[in-house]
Amino acid sequence: MKTFTFAFVLLTLIFITACETEPPPPVNQPSEITTEINRLKAVAEDRNLTVEDYSQLNQLTQPIPYYQDGLKKIEWLTEHGEADHAAHGLSYLLLYSQTGKEYACLIHDLSHIESYLHYNDLAMAEEAIKELDAQPWIDKAEKSRQRLPQYYKNFDQLKATVLDTVERLKNKNYSQTTLDQIEYLDKTAPC
């Protein structure tokens, strides 16, 4: 009986370990993080933020990769005077602090890539390009189109432009045509 119990416990542990997916990221002091992000968003309404403004948020979120990756991009955008884009990044971090779910918007990511390319930071651009995936945006937009077709009359054109733009970027085609497509999507495509 002891052998059976031991074997059962061992098999259960192996099964649980094998079935475990990556644990959700630890949300370190979510209320403090949320409060700090809201403080930064309020400051951003009065003046442009500086990289130094993010120091407290950096400390609060230090061990969490999603925050650190987001802050790296936000700080870069801030250093380059892209306040609106930095504010979007803060909004994503706020949603994460409130829900624990990662949020991404392909259209905003494309516009950030356009900024990286504008300032000739190929390392940041190529890092962001590696993460591009048009399919989640397409799936979400198609569901929205089914509910609200009046707002998605040119969806097929947007979808084709998204797919073409992502392919161009993945092929390192940073031509003016590619940049123009990103601008077009930024102005017309829903997040």
Q: Please state the domain extents for the chain.
A: 27-103, 105-191
Single out the residue of 92, 96, 8, 84 nearest to residue 44, CA to CA: 84
pTM of the predicted model, to two decimals? 0.78
Higher-pLDDT residue of 63 and 37 is 37
Residue 7: pLDDT above 60? no
How sure is the predictor about 29, in pLDDT bands with cuts at 50, 70 and 90?
A: low
Virtual torsion, Cα 123, 128, 134, 138, nearest 10 deg: -140
Residue 25: pLDDT above 80? no
User: What average pLDDT score do residues 179-187 get?
Assistant: 96
User: What average pLDDT score do residues 97-118 get?
Assistant: 92
The two most distant CA atoms of the chain are separated, in Å, by: 74
In this prediction, residue 30 carries a pLDDT of: 63
CA distance 174 to 125: 10
